[in-house]
C-alpha cells in the first residue's frame, strides 16, 4: 500500500502561503507576493499530479475497484459518542480527479494573475485570498466526512465573498459580494439541515460509512416517511439545496452573474472551474446514497439541472456583458453535469451518467477557465466588459483569438474536441434514462453553440468600434496559461475517463452512441454556429429583427426573467420592511415600553403618595387623631356587633 500521508501538504501549503502573505505582504514588493503565491501553488500542483499518478497506476485495486484511502484522519471535534468531526484526506477517484482540476486551474490562474493584476492596489491581498481559496477548495475536495466538507464549503464561500468584493471601494462589487454570500448562505442552511437529518438517522458523518453499499448507514435512513418521501430522501434533497446554491442552480442562481464584479482571474478560478462545481461534486460524493436509497432525490437533481441549463442558456443569448454571458454559460454547463449525475444509476454501464458528469466537470474546468481568462485578456485590452465596445479584435489579439476560438468550438461540441466526448456521454445517459431531459439538453446544446459564437463573432469580427488606445496582446504571463488550457481543452477528451472514474469505482469502457446522440448533437451545434455566423459575423439588422419577432421572450431573457427584482422584493420589502422593522418597533415600543411603563407607574405612584410625608406636625397630628377616631369607631362597632 502506498503511503499517501504527504497529500495533507497539498491543502496546507496554500494556507501557509495565505498566512505568510497576509501578515507580511504589505512589507514586500507586490511582485514578490505574486511569486510566493504561485510557487506555493506550483508545489501543490506537482504533488497533486504525483498523487494522481500514484493513486491510479501504483495502487492495488481490490476486486477491480479503486479503493477509498484515508490518507490522514484526526478527530477535530466530538459531538456525541457516535458523531464526531474529523479532519483528514480521503482519496478516491473523484477526489483525486478534483485535485488535478483544482490545482491545474488554480496554478494557471496564479500565473495569469501575475500579469493581469499588475499595478492594482492590494496585489498581495489578491494573492493571499487566492491562496486562501485554494486551501479551502482543496480541503473541500479531500474531505473525509460531510461535516468537514461543510466546513470547507463555508470557507470557499467566504473566500469567494472576499474575492468578489476585491474592489471594495466599488459599491456594485460590495453589493455583489454580499449577495453571493447571503444567497449561498441561505442554501447552506438547507445543507446544514440536511446534514443534521442525515447524521441523526445514520449516526455518522463519515463518507466511507455513508456510502458503503449495503452498509448499515444506508439501511437505517430509508424507514419513516414524510409527505411520501423517505427521511433519507428529504435529507438528501436538503443537502442538494446546498449544492444548488453553490452551483448556482435555479432558483438560487442569482448571485453568479453579479459575482462577475470580481477580478476576471477570480471568475475563471472560482466562478467557472472550481467552486461552482462543488455542488456537482457533493452529489457525486454521496452518489451511492442518492442512487441506492433515495432515487427520488436524484430525479430532483436531474430536473433542477436540466431546467437551469435551459433557463441560463436562453438568458445567455441576450446578455451584452461578455463576463455575464460566460457566467450564464457556466450555469448552463453545470446544469449538464447535474443532469449527468441525476439520470445516472449505480454501477457499471448504467453509471455512465455519473462518469460523464465528472468528465464534463473536468473538461469544462479547462475550457471555461480558458474562456474566462481569454475574456480577461480582452477586457485587459479594451478596458470594457460590454460587447458594444468590442469588435474586430482578431487582428490585435492573435493568441487570445485562437485560444478563444478553440474554447468556443469545444463548448459548442465540435467533434474530437474535449467537450464533444463529455457532453455526448451525458446526452447518451439522458437518452437512456429520460427522453424529455435528453431533448431539452439537445436543444440547449444548440443554444450553447449559438450564444458562444454570438460572443465570438461580436468580439473578434463584426464592426470595429473606435478604440481610444490600440488594443494589444497580453503579456506572456497571461498568454502562457491560455495556450496551456487551449491544449488541455483540445486533448482532454482523449482521456479514457471511464477507466478512472465510475459510479462504483470499477473501471469500464464507454462508447459514443453516434446514431442517436452524437450526430444529432453535432447537427444542432453546427446549426447554432451557422445562425450566429449569419447574424453576427458582420454588422446587420438581423439581431434586432429577431429580437422584435420574439419580443416577449427577448425582453424577459434580457432582464433575466426578473429574478433579481423578485429577490429584491422579498428581501427589501418583506424581510426588511415587514419583518425587521416591525420587530424593532415592537421591541422599542412594546417590550421596552412596558418596562418603561412599570418605571413610570412606580414614579407616578410615588409622586401621588409622597404628599403624606410633608413634615408638618399639625397634619400628622390631624391624621393621627382622625385615625384613632376611626379605629375607635370600628372597634366599638365590632364590639357591639359581636356581643
Partner 1 sequence: MDILSLFVIIPVLTVLAIIISRNAKNTRVISAIGMGIQLLMAAYLIFAYFAQRNAGNNAEMLFQVDYVWFASLNIHYAVGVDGISVAMIALTSVVVFAGIFASWQVEFLPKEFFISLILLSSGVFGFFISLDLFTMFLFYEVAVLPMYLLIGIWGSGPREYAAMKLTLMLMGGSALLLVGLLGIYTNSAPNGGVLTFNILEISKVSIPIAAQRMFFPMTFIGFGILGALFPFHTWSPDGHASAPTAVSMLHAGVLMKLGGYGAFRVAMFLLPQAAHELSWIFIILTSISVVYGAFGAIVQKDLKYINAYSSVSHCGLVLFAVLMMNKTAMDGAILQMISHGLMTALFFALIGMIYGRTHTRMINEMGGLMKVMPFLGVCYVIAGLASLGLPGLSGFVAEMTIFVGAFQHVDIFHRVVTITAVSSIVITAVYILRVVGALLFGPITNDHFLHLDEAKWFEKLSTVTLILAIAGIGLAPLWLSNMIGDSLAPIISRLTLFIP
- What residues line the site for partner 1 (CB under 8 A)? 75-80, 83, 147, 150-152, 154-155, 158, 165, 168-171, 174-175, 178, 181-182, 185-186, 188-189, 192-193, 196-197, 199-200, 575-576, 579-581, 583-584, 587, 591-592, 595-596, 599
Least separation in angstroms between residue 599's CB and partner 1 is: 7
CA 322 to CA 372: how far, in whole Å?
Answer: 9
Please, which residue, 186 or 558, has the CB nearer to partner 1?
186
Least separation in angstroms between residue 191's CB and partner 1 is: 11
What is the grid cell recorded at 559?
432582464
Least separation in angstroms between residue 165's CB and partner 1 is: 7
**Residue 298 contacts residue 339 (beta carbons within 8 Å):** no
CA 345 to CA 22: how far, in whole Å?
Answer: 46
DSSP at 65: B
Least separation in angstroms between residue 22's CB and partner 1 is: 9
Torsion of CA 374, 375, 379, 381, to 10 degrees: 30
Least separation in angstroms between residue 9's CB and partner 1 is: 18
Least separation in angstroms between residue 345's CB and partner 1 is: 32
Q: Distances from the Cα of 462 to the Cαs of 82, 389, 505, in angstroms?
A: 64, 11, 48
Instruction: Give ∠ CA 504-508-513 in degrees, rounded to 5.
Output: 120
Least separation in angstroms between residue 231's CB and partner 1 is: 11
Least separation in angstroms between residue 579's CB and partner 1 is: 6
Other beta carbons within 10 Å of 614? 10
Please, which residue, 472 or 573, has the CB nearer to partner 1?
573
Least separation in angstroms between residue 571's CB and partner 1 is: 8
Torsion of CA 480, 484, 490, 494, to 10 degrees: 170
Residue 196 makes CB contacts below 8 A (sequence gap 6+) with none
Please, which residue, 123 or 367, has the CB nearer to partner 1?
123
> What is the DSSP code string of 432-494?
HH-HHHHHHHHHHHHHHHHHHHHHHHHHHSS-----SS---PPPHHHHHHHHHHHHHHHHGGG
Least separation in angstroms between residue 189's CB and partner 1 is: 5
Please, which residue, 226 or 643, has the CB nearer to partner 1?
226
**Residue 459 contacts residue 386 (beta carbons within 8 Å):** no
Please, which residue, 196 or 534, has the CB nearer to partner 1?
196
Sign of CA dihedral 103, 108, 111, 113: negative
Closest among 494, 306, 532, 498 to 415, alpha carbons compared: 494
Please, which residue, 128 or 440, has the CB nearer to partner 1?
128
**Residue 239 contacts residue 231 (beta carbons within 8 Å):** no
Sign of CA dihedral 431, 435, 439, 441: negative
Least separation in angstroms between residue 195's CB and partner 1 is: 9
What is the grid cell recorded at 627?
385615625
Q: Distances from the Cα of 83 to the Cαs of 190, 199, 221, 222, in angstroms?
A: 20, 8, 16, 19
Please, which residue, 246 or 368, has the CB nearer to partner 1?
246
The maximal CA–CA distance of the chain, rounded, in angstroms, is 126
Q: Distances from the Cα of 576 to the Cαs of 571, 573, 583, 585, in angstroms?
A: 6, 6, 10, 12
Bridge partners (DSSP) of residue 74 are 87
Other beta carbons within 10 Å of 567? 17
Bridge partners (DSSP) of residue 225 are 230
Please, which residue, 213 or 599, has the CB nearer to partner 1?
599
CA 406 to CA 367: how far, in whole Å?
Answer: 8
Residue 558, burial from CB neighbour count under 10 angstroms (0-12, 13-18, 19+): middle
Least separation in angstroms between residue 91's CB and partner 1 is: 22
Please, which residue, 24 or 78, has the CB nearer to partner 1?
78
Least separation in angstroms between residue 588's CB and partner 1 is: 8
Please, which residue, 178 or 537, has the CB nearer to partner 1?
178
Closest among 382, 378, 391, 339 to 360, alpha carbons compared: 339
**Residue 280 contacts residue 355 (beta carbons within 8 Å):** no
Q: Which stretches of 514-560 are DSSP H helices?
A: 519-536, 542-549, 551-558
In Å, how far from its chain's centre is CA 66? Answer: 28
Sign of CA dihedral 446, 556, 278, 156: positive
Please, which residue, 586 or 638, has the CB nearer to partner 1?
586
Least separation in angstroms between residue 156's CB and partner 1 is: 11
- The kind and range of the H/E element at 226 are strand 225-226
Please, which residue, 188 or 432, has the CB nearer to partner 1?
188
CA 582 to CA 600: how far, in whole Å?
Answer: 24
Least separation in angstroms between residue 499's CB and partner 1 is: 36
Report the number of secondary-structure helices (H) and strands (E) in the chain: 27, 4
Least separation in angstroms between residue 148's CB and partner 1 is: 9
Please, which residue, 31 or 591, has the CB nearer to partner 1?
591
Please, which residue, 127 or 150, has the CB nearer to partner 1?
150
Please, which residue, 583 or 629, has the CB nearer to partner 1?
583
CA 407 to CA 403: how far, in whole Å?
Answer: 6
Please, which residue, 165 or 376, has the CB nearer to partner 1?
165
Amino acid at each position: 500500500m502506498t503511503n499517501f500521508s504527504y497529500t495533507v501538504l497539498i491543502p496546507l501549503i496554500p494556507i501557509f502561503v495565505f498566512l505568510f502573505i497576509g501578515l507580511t505582504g504589505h512589507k514586500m514588493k507586490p511582485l514578490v507576493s505574486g511569486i510566493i503565491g504561485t510557487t506555493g501553488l506550483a508545489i501543490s500542483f506537482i504533488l497533486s499530479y504525483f498523487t494522481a499518478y500514484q493513486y491510479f497506476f501504483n495502487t492495488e485495486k481490490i476486486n477491480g475497484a479503486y479503493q477509498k484511502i484515508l490518507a490522514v484522519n484526526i478527530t477535530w471535534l466530538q459531538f456525541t459518542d457516535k458523531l464526531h468531526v474529523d479532519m483528514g484526506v480521503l482519496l478516491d477517484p473523484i477526489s483525486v480527479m478534483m485535485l488535478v482540476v483544482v490545482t491545474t486551474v488554480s496554478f494557471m490562474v496564479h500565473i495569469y494573475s501575475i500579469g493581469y493584476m499588475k499595478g492594482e492596489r492590494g496585489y498581495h491581498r489578491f494573492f493571499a485570498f487566492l491562496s486562501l481559496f485554494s486551501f479551502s477548495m482543496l480541503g473541500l475536495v479531500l474531505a473525509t466526512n460531510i461535516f468537514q466538507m461543510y466546513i470547507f464549503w463555508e470557507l470557499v464561500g467566504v473566500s469567494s465573498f472576499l474575492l468578489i468584493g476585491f474592489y471594495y471601494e466599488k459599491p456594485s462589487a460590495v453589493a455583489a459580494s454580499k449577495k453571493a454570500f447571503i444567497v449561498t448562505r441561505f442554501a447552506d442552511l438547507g445543507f446544514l439541515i440536511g446534514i443534521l437529518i442525515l447524521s441523526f438517522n445514520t449516526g455518522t458523518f463519515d463518507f466511507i460509512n455513508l456510502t458503503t453499499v449495503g452498509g448499515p448507514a444506508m439501511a437505517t435512513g430509508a424507514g419513516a416517511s414524510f409527505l411520501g418521501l423517505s427521511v433519507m430522501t428529504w435529507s438528501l434533497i436538503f443537502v442538494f439545496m446546498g449544492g444548488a446554491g453553490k452551483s448556482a442552480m435555479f432558483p438560487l442562481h442569482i448571485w453568479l452573474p453579479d459575482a462577475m464584479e470580481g477580478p476576471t482571474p477570480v471568475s475563471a478560478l472560482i466562478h467557472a472551474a472550481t467552486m461552482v462545481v462543488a455542488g456537482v461534486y457533493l452529489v457525486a460524493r454521496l452518489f451511492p446514497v442518492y442512487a441506492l436509497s433515495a432515487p427520488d432525490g436524484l430525479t430532483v437533481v436531474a430536473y433542477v439541472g436540466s431546467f437551469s441549463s435551459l433557463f441560463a442558456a436562453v438568458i445567455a443569448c441576450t446578455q451584452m456583458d461578455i463576463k455575464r454571458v460566460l457566467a450564464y454559460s457556466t450555469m448552463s454547463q453545470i446544469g449538464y453535469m447535474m443532469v449527468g449525475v441525476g439520470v445516472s444509476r449505480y454501477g457499471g454501464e448504467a453509471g455512465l451518467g455519473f462518469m460523464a458528469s465528472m468528465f464534463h466537470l473536468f473538461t469544462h474546468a479547462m475550457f471555461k477557465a480558458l474562456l474566462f481568462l481569454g475574456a480577461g485578456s480582452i477586457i485587459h485590452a479594451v478596458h470594457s466588459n460590454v460587447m458594444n465596445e468590442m469588435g474586430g479584435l482578431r487582428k490585435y489579439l492573435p493568441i487570445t483569438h485562437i485560444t478563444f476560438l478553440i474554447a468556443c468550438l469545444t463548448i459548442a461540441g465540435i467533434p474530437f474536441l474535449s467537450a464533444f466526448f463529455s457532453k455526448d456521454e451525458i446526452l447518451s445517459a439522458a437518452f437512456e434514462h429520460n427522453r424529455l431531459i435528453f431533448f431539452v439538453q439537445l436543444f440547449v446544446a444548440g443554444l450553447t453553440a449559438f450564444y458562444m459564437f454570438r460572443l465570438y463573432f461580436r468580439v473578434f469580427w463584426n464592426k470595429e468600434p473606435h478604440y481610444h488606445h490600440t488594443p494589444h496582446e497580453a503579456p506572456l504571463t497571461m498568454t502562457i496559461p491560455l495556450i496551456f488550457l487551449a491544449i488541455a481543452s483540445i486533448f482532454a477528451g482523449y482521456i479514457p475517463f471511464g477507466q478512472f472514474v465510475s459510479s462504483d469505482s470499477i473501471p469500464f469502457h464507454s462508447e459514443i452512441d453516434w446514431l442517436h446522440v452524437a450526430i444529432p448533437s453535432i447537427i444542432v451545434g453546427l446549426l447554432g454556429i451557422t445562425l450566429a455566423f449569419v447574424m453576427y459575423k458582420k454588422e446587420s439588422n438581423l439581431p434586432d429583427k429577431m429580437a422584435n419577432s420574439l419580443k416577449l421572450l427577448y425582453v424577459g431573457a434580457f432582464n433575466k426573467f426578473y429574478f433579481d427584482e423578485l429577490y429584491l422584493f422579498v428581501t427589501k420589502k418583506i424581510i426588511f420592511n415587514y419583518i425587521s422593522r416591525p420587530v424593532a418597533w415592537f421591541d422599542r415600543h412594546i417590550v421596552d415600553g412596558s418596562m418603561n411603563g412599570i418605571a413610570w407607574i412606580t414614579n407616578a405612584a410615588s409622586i401621588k403618595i409622597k404628599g403624606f410625608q410633608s413634615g408638618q406636625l399639625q397634619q400628622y397630628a390631624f391624621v393621627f387623631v382622625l385615625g384613632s377616631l376611626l379605629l375607635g369607631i370600628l372597634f366599638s362597632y365590632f364590639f357591639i356587633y359581636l356581643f
